[in-house]
Amino acid sequence: MTIQLGQLAPNFQQDSSQGRIDLYDYLGQSWGILFSHPKDFTPVCTTELAAVARLAGEWDKRNVKPIGLSVDSTENHAGWAKDIEETQGATVNFPVIADKDRTVSTLYGMIHPEADPSVTVRSVFIIDPNKKVRLSITYPPSTGRNFNEILRVIDSLQLTDSTKVATPANWQPGEHVIIVPSLSDEDAKARFPQGWKTLRPYLRVVDLGAKAEAAE
């Protein structure tokens, strides 16, 4: 199955390191990141689970719940968690799905038969509070995932969902953004009284911080 951006994330019920999980119930009105691992006790993924655990405060600030997934058992997950704590100095503080029957892996297209039909590829899905998939990325086995980039994407999605803007290449929170082309100049004046810079009729950049300062 191919997961398309904007479609409803398929719901599932599966065992995890924190008990039985129903995805929709677990997420509630939160955002979620679902990220898969080929199997337990793999080196790159060991560092990734630790990286996600260390970002607990950042996920909380953005109302995001991370969920890991591996095709191994909950017993293996427990042993792996001990290794992660001992080698990385981080406690896994989020559920890791035990997808032994590969139900979730198949549902989300995490198994690539051309690579290895027995293990998941390393996928990431961002799911919004409406249960829609907003981003999907698949990484090669040799490259650790950049979870700071995942945070950046979530910041962009949350901003652009609430404001008629888009974020440019390499954008970081607090930097200039782009007024969406569908918004007329007349409507933009009401939304952005601080003004903007028009580089081209289709490319208008605005400083949202200046709006906040003007309001003060």
Task: Please identify every residue annotated as catalytic.
Answer: 45
CA–CA separation, 98 and 10 (whole Å): 17
Q: Kindly give the interhelix angle for 43-54 and 147-162, rounded to the nearest 10 degrees.
A: 50
Nearest to 54 by CA among 24, 85, 91, 17: 91
Residue 75 corresponds to which tokens in the numbers above? 């017993």
CA–CA separation, 65 and 15 (whole Å): 17
